[in-house]
Amino acid sequence: MRLRVVVAVARSTFREFWRSPDALFWTYGFPLVMALALGLAFQPGPPPQVPIAVVADADAAALLAAEPRLLVEPLAADAADRALARGRVAASLRRQDGGLVLRADPTRPDAESAVLLVERALRAEPAAPAIAPLRREVEDRPGSRYIDFLIPGLIGLNLLGAGMWGIGFNLVQMRVGKLLRRLAVTPMRRSEFLFGYLLGRCLLVVPESAALVGFGALLWDVPFRGSLLAGLLLVAAGGLAFAGLGVLVASRARTLEGVGGLMNLVQLPMWLLCGTWFDTSRFTGALRWFADLLPLTHVNRALRDVMLEPQGLLDAAPTIAGLCAFAAVCLALALRWFRWQ
């Protein structure tokens, strides 16, 4: 690989991107705006009220209403079930066999607060009947706010988006416009092109990630407790991994629609299952296995570790190495399958 050529390809690619304000906005600007909006929506403040359904029991309802963090909704039994199923309430309380039964969906983030709040409200009144016990698991990370959880996840998600949106369409456009085949008849080596290209398209992930960390720190005091260098290397390795994946996804598609579909196929599971929006560390079985297969899971986990815990470079090293290996595999496959025309 000749560095001169890699740099020339990277420069030309970056310039083309830089001069396309719309592409730039949707790849980098929009996620930033979304992160801000989400941050504002979840910004720390007085804890929100937890909605709870109480089935036909005025006494219990009155009891719970004394707890200011509970939002009590008296409902009929079937309406309560429906509300719970739809997630409109975090839990439902009903009298059954002389005791009170609290039902909650343990996968809902506010189920736990609902249980604790109900327990607290009932403990305040010694005469209250015992609640039927409810199995639940305990959050093992030190009590952090949602925004602390969200910011590293959004950085990870943006790395994924940059690799996909930043590369897929543009690369296929170059194929459709027959620019790739023109490049293929020059003495430019295939690897020089792929490497320079993904550098040019993904250089911006570093400043964007820094901006997200900066916003978080400035607006919501989101900490960065670990090694900055580890964070930087993680972002770079993650950017490389997803750029490699982006090139791989776009390596054979012949139409913009085709590559759009493929990108969605690749992104959707990662959006949902990789712990950007909610904690997925308690997944079990096949879901767990699948989530662990997805690179974003590891990026998010490592970014959270380095931001929220005083971790050093050594702690992040295995993930960084893994991401680089993933990028190498993607690029090797892309190089092999790449369609120049």
Partner 1 sequence: MTAAPAAEPAIAIAGLRKVYRRGRKETVAVDGLDLVVRRGEVFGLLGPNGAGKTTTVEVCEGLTQPDAGDVRILGRRWGQGEDDALRARLGVCLQETHFQEKATVRETLALFASFYDGGADVDAALDLVGLREKADDRQSQLSGGQRQRLAVATALLGRPDLLFLDEPTTGLDPLSRRQLWEVVRGFRARGGTILLTTHGMDEAQQLCDRVAIVDRGRVLAIGSPAELIRSLGAEHFVDVECTDTSAVGTADLAALPDVAAHELRPARIVLTVRSVHTALAALLALLRERGVGVQGLATRHATLEDVFVRLTGRTLREETTP
* Contacts with partner 1, residue ranges (CB under 8 A): 2, 4-5, 7-9, 11-12, 15-16, 19-20, 174, 177-179, 181-182, 184-189, 340-341
Cα–Cα distance for residue pair 240/234, rounded to 1 Å: 10
To partner 1, the closest distance from the beta carbon of 262 in angstroms equals 22
Backbone angles phi, psi at 223, to 5 degrees: -80, 160
The least CB distance from residue 256 to partner 1, in Å, is 14
Rounded Cα gap, residues 27 and 145, in angstroms: 27
Q: How far apart are CA 299 and CA 327, in angstroms?
A: 13
Question: Cα–Cα distance between 26 and 277 in angstroms, integer?
Answer: 20
Nearer CB in complex with partner 1: 12/264: 12
Between 23 and 36, whose beta carbon lies closer to partner 1?
A: 23
CB 267 within 8 A of CB 160: yes
Strand partners for 104? 91
Taking the complex as a whole, the smallest distance from the CB of residue 29 to partner 1 amounts, in Å, to 17
Least distance to partner 1 from the beta carbon of 193, Å? 10
Q: By C-beta, is 118 or 204 nearer to partner 1? A: 204
Q: Pick the closer one to partner 1 by CB: 5 or 52.
A: 5
Largest CA-CA distance found in the chain, in angstroms, rounded = 86
Contact 209, 183 (CB under 8 A): no
Least distance CB 258 / partner 1 (angstroms): 17
Cβ distance to partner 1 smaller for residue 2 or 336: 2
Say if CB 302 and CB 232 are below 8 A apart.
no
